[in-house]
Amino acid sequence: MHPGRPPALEVRPHPPRETQVCSFLRTLACEPQLRQLWAGAESGVRVWGLDELFAGSVAGARRGDEETAPFTESVPTPPALCVAVDSANKLVWTGHKDGRIRSWRMDLATAPAAASDGGENAPMFKEGLSWQAHSRTPVLSMVVTSYGEIWSGTEGGVIKAWPWDVIAKSLSLTPEEKYMASCLVENAYIDLRNYVTVGNMFSLPTTDVKHMLADHCRAKVWSLTSMTFALWDARTRELLKVFGMDGQVESARLEPLVMPEQFIEEEIKVKPTKKEKNQGSVTFLQKSWNALIGAGGAVRRVATKGTFVEDNRRTETVAQAMDGAIWSGCTDGSIIMWDGNGNWLKEFSYHNSSVQCIKALGERVWVGYASGTVQVMDVEGNPLGGWTGHSRPVIQMAIGGSYIFTLAHHGGIRGWPLTSPGPLDDILRTELAKRELSYTRVENIKMLVGTWNVAQEKASPESLWSWLGTASSDVGLVVVGLQEVEMGAGVLAMAAAKESVGLEGSANGQWWIDNIGKTLDEGISFHRVGSRQLAGLLIAAWARTDLKPHIGDVDAAAVPCGFGRAIGNKGGVGLKMRVYDRRICFVNNHFAAHLENVTRRNADFDHIYRTMNFNKSHGSAGFPFSHLLFSSILLHYFTAYDAYNFFPFLLQLLIRLSNCIKQ
């Protein structure tokens, strides 16, 4: 029980990354009436019944979902990028990478997977009405408007709408007429660019439409790119306004111009031709004015894209609060509030981390950040509380029942009480702590950790067996750290050059890995789970066959400390992994020898401790593990310390490791 956050409902515990290839979850939505939680994945769609979340995991589930609450899965589809709930028709619409929009009947997906094996042979539900919405581009965003129309956005600023009557007619056709229904909808689309093109001037930004929001209070639709907002009338499909993140209007609906009388008289004198009459009531002056406004907006957009603002400040999400205000979250951690007409109200920020998702219900608004933090605010933007919900970015949120569900980047889903933070949190936390033994499982794992300065030599099979073979018979995890696998200036320089282009390893290092594997009977008794070489430093880990399925998220890192902290003759290599949902880190260090280098050794250790980065894509450095076993293979140079120098260093090391474990 984590003391710093509310008690969570584990819908889907963090699955090992290795099990999520082509099956990562990317979207999340809830249907409140039928109490369902829907998730779009790279391989299809999943649905959980909220009443079944407490039923426990299904025996025999596929790897990665052993502890997941019972769910039903759709037939395989291309990656689902967005999802929209249509409660009126009891459908869930999903937009996919192949450009198709698919519908799923909620009543066919209410029974969680109940096959005897609970795994890949569990029954799957099929899609209903589907059609090719965009021919060569993915469906990036989608909404169901106040009038029952489906709007979708894709690359290049393209937005299409499908009228409700066509959708209703297609849904009324029989399953045997599925192809006819698909063709009927596919050919009935309305390209909204035709509504905003005046005088051959396109006043919409031509960048990807990543987010859409249906404002049912005012019957409007918001479409968002990374830098701009567009506001539409949901009934007439008319573009009302285009504005930037600073609130500056780039183009807007223009009322008929009030022209001087002399211009009116001159226009009356000119007899229009039949072709000109068919062009409508838009005069030449109005067309020119619209073209100028559109051109000005285009210039501003190009100028903005040419600055660093685009990289540091982009819109990542949008939501509507109870009072009708629109909230948009940015990559710099700021949140902007707008009124229903697209007017800037205020801007505030409480975190430097990127805002990934926003969800609102009643008088509360929840914000998910890339740091894994979940923050709760009131409708005025005042913070009410927050906690670290996940170890990775919170990419989606959905509200259902009495919970708000958060989807992390690694695929884990947790449910948090809507009342959190509140007085019930402490009560639940206390009661759950008392009953911890009733819902936790204790696994004892023996680990063998060894270190060897091989001085560029190769060991005999007998030496390896006496070192590892005899001791590994009753252990589950073997971790080996080697130093001076490679020596010599030329070899070290070549290794540094390979590291600069993302390459690693050497013939000597591979020899050691192969022969240690033979000693451990690799492939039968043990399996290698990871390795990392930095010039003369090498670390590798092997897990016993029965333990291997419970190990995942293996990452490697290296920090050079030699020759200005650029060469790997000195430094550290590390392996990080999750074992039974507990993160463990092993680090193999090689520091400068002799008593006069005590200060340098301390500085190198501090440098490794602070800069070793296992997750470069998320920018996290150091050792931010909630549960950490730091096995630092510090070289035999410690034997050369005198007591005066060694024990202060050891005390400093233990203090830092203690602080890591507390985190």
- DSSP characters over 63-107: TT-TTSPP-EEEPP-SPEEEEEEETTTTEEEEEETTSEEEEEEGG
Cβ atoms of 82 and 40 within 8 Å: the answer is yes
Which two three-digit tokens encode residue 607? 């440098």
Instruction: Look at residue 501 and tell me whether its pLDDT is greater than 70.
Output: no
Is the peptide bond between 175 and the residue preceding it cis, with omega within 30 degrees of 0? no
- Strands (DSSP E) along 271-332, which ranges? 315-320, 326-330
Least reliable range by pLDDT among 363-377, 523-537, 647-661: 647-661
Query: pLDDT tens digits for 225-270?
Result: 999 999 999 999 999 989 999 888 876 554 433 443 333 333 434 4
Burial of 257 (0-12, 13-18, 19+ CB in 10 A): exposed
Side-by-side strand order, sheet with 220-224: 211-215, 220-224, 228-233, 239-244, 249-252
CB contact set of 497 (below 8 Å; sequence gap of 6+): none
Query: Residue 481 — left, alpha, or beta (φ > 0 → left; ψ -120 to 50 → alpha)?
Result: beta
Report how far residue 306's alpha carbon sits from residue 304's, in angstroms, rounded to the nearest whole number. Answer: 5
Q: What is the mean pLDDT of residues 639-658?
A: 48
Scanning 88-235, the segments in alpha helix (DSSP H) are 164-172, 178-186
Which pLDDT score is estimated for 347?
96
CB-based burial label for 539 (10 Å; 0-12, 13-18, 19+) = buried
Cα separation, 439 vs 286, whole angstroms? 71
First CA to last CA distance, the chain: 14
Among 154-158, 178-182, 657-661, the minimum mean pLDDT is found in: 657-661
Between the CA of residue 36 and those of 60, 125, 544, 607, what are the distances in Å?
23, 15, 40, 49
How open is the CA angle 579-650-627, to the nearest 5 degrees? 20
Query: pLDDT tens digit string along 80-125?
Result: 999 999 988 999 999 999 999 999 998 875 544 443 344 555 678 8
Backbone φ/ψ region at 280: left (φ over 0), alpha (ψ -120 to 50), beta:
left
pLDDT of residue 212: 96
pLDDT for 53-63, tens place per residue? 776 655 556 66
Beta-carbon count within 10 A of 490 CB: 9
The predicted structure's pLDDT at residue 113: 46
- Beta pairing class for 228-233 and 80-86: unpaired
Q: Which residue intervals of 173-283 are DSSP H helices?
A: 178-186, 261-269, 274-277
Range scoring the smallest mean pLDDT among 302-316, 388-402, 457-471, 494-508: 302-316
| Rounded Cα–Cα distance for residues 348 and 4 (Å) | 25
pLDDT at 395: 96
All domains of the chain in start order, with CATH: 9-307+315-434 (2.130.10.10), 447-662 (3.60.10.10)
Q: pLDDT at position 635, please?
A: 42
pLDDT above 90 coverage of the chain, percent: 40
pLDDT class of 389 with cuts at 50, 70, 90: very high
Nearest 5°: CA angle at 568, between 563 and 573? Answer: 135
Q: Nearest Cα to 515, choosing from 480, 561, 547? A: 480
More confidently predicted of 540 and 288: 540
pLDDT per position as a tens digit, 396-437: 999 998 999 999 999 999 999 999 998 888 888 888 888 888
E strand or H helix at 508, and its extent? Answer: helix 507-519
Tens of pLDDT, residues 579-618: 887 888 898 888 878 877 788 888 888 888 888 888 654 4
- Which residues of 225-322 form beta strands (DSSP E)? 228-233, 239-244, 249-252, 315-320
SS (H, E, C) 529-588: EEEEEECCEEEEEEEECCCHHHEEEEEEEEEEEHHHHCEEEEEEEEEEEEECCEEEEEEE
